[in-house]
Amino acid sequence: MAHWPWWLQTTLVYVAARLLSACIFMAAAIHQGVNPWFPAAPDYWSFITIWDGRWYAEAADNGYPPTLPVNGQGDVQENAWAFYALFPFLARGLGTVTGLGTLQSLTAVAMVSGLGAALVVFRLFREFAGRRTALWGVAFFATFPVSAILQVPYAEPLNILLLAAALLLVVRRRYLAAMPVVLLMCLSRPTGVPFAAMMGFLLLHRLWLRFGPRRPEDAPPARELASLAALVLVSGLGALAWPAIAWATTGDPAAYTRTETVWRGHDLVPFKPWFDTGRMLFGPVLGIMAPFVFAGLFALLMVSRPVRALGLELRLWCTCYMGYLLVFLHPQTSTFRMLLPLFPLALGAALLSRSKAYRGTVVVMFSLLQIVWIVWLWAWAQLPGGGDYPP
């Protein structure tokens, strides 16, 4: 196996991880009781299409509402504007060409995108590590406790594919080539804002190298800075594209944010949900401290030796994305899934030790935690107050 092509090695690792996840899904499906979507004990293909998969199917079949649906009190109701268009529209195109049903097309796009993401992630990791370590990094990514999301009709696989491709092009300083990839990424999931922030900080760093008091010999040339500045602009416009489309279609400037916050049950207030959740989990004193402790621990992670080996661009991405989550995210059970764009840290984990025992243990523990995630969050079981925790 050591002499096999990199793409074959990566494919085998990824497919093995997805087969493991499929076995966990099938075991959980046997015990699935009454639920909002189908009869108890569904088959595998039905079981993986629940939750947001049904919303993406709604967007693929019926598009997006021209006006925001509201109740008698004027409150916006759940609707498709919370779900970015690239994934459902690709599935609709596939269904038109092949005759597949909507959910089957969504699943096919997700599965192919997940494999493509693994291949691009390997190429990205090879920029910073040897072949064996990069492959272990892919194994960590492919078995991460929420990695089962890469084979269900969610937009995460497509988004990770485009994000990894954009990061690879940025690392290689092919800024102009990254522009169309970034625009597509911004239409797949809300990762445009942290990506634009990362590019802005990267531009400031490059400008400092070029015009600072200690200009190094390898300072970036003016042409590279111009390309980077153009990518910053494109990234910023891409980050605003989906909210702007929602505004243009519905006539409501806050159509996207009003829809997104429906699931929260309250308006968007930066940082506040983290402190609310902290107080709920740890009490009035420790709860206030908890977000600061979390941010401090993440900062220590970013300056650790294995993570420093990831290079400036990947560290900037992880920092900006986590900053984005701290500012805008309402921490809940879906937070685990939203950590997947931090996949560069999988390489940092692989670089922590070359021990086969350590690396194998990580894969085993990640795989076991997939069982926890699928049984606890993916399988539906009504809570005493109604509904269930979302995955």
**What is the C-alpha to C-alpha distance for residues 112 and 54, in angstroms, rounded to an integer?**
19
More confident residue, 315 or 331: 315
Torsion 164-166-171-172 (CA) sign: positive
pLDDT tens for 121-141 read: 999 999 999 999 999 999 999
Give CA–CA dist 138/141, Å, rounded.
Answer: 5
- Band (pLDDT 50/70/90 cuts) for residue 2 is confident
User: For residue range 240-287, what is the model confidence (pLDDT) as tens digits?
Assistant: 999 999 999 999 999 999 999 888 777 778 898 899 989 999 998 898
**What per-residue string of b and e applies to 350-363 under the rule 16 or more CB within 10 Å gives b?**
bbbeeeeeebeebb
pTM, whole model, 2 decimals?
Answer: 0.96
Give the HSE-up count for residue 359: Cα atoms under 13 Å, Cβ half-sphere.
20
- Indicate the SS3 state at residue 389: coil
Q: pLDDT exceeding 70 applies to what percent of the chain? A: 99
- In this structure, the number of other CB atoms found within 10 A of the CB of residue 270 comes to 9
Q: Which two tokens stand for residue 152?
A: 């269900």
What is the band of 101 on the pLDDT scale with cuts at 50, 70, 90? very high
CB neighbours of residue 154 within 10 Å: 26
Contact status, residue 338 vs residue 351, Cβ threshold 8 Å: no
Q: Is 311 left (phi over 0), alpha (psi -120 to 50) or beta?
A: left
What proportion of the chain, given as a percentage, has pLDDT over 90? 86
DSSP 8-state class, residue 172: T
pLDDT in tens, 138-193: 999 999 999 999 999 999 999 999 999 999 999 999 999 999 999 999 999 999 99
In this model, does residue 8 exceed pLDDT 80? Answer: yes
User: What pLDDT score does 122 carry?
Assistant: 98
**Is pLDDT at 387 greater than 90 in this prediction?**
no
Residue 38 φ then ψ, to 5°: -160, 170
As a whole number of angstroms, the distance between CA 346 and CA 350 comes to 6
Q: What is the pLDDT of residue 218?
A: 75
Q: What would the mean pLDDT of 317-323 be, rounded to a whole number?
A: 98
pLDDT-derived band at 74, boundaries 50, 70, 90: confident
Domain ranges of the chain: 6-378
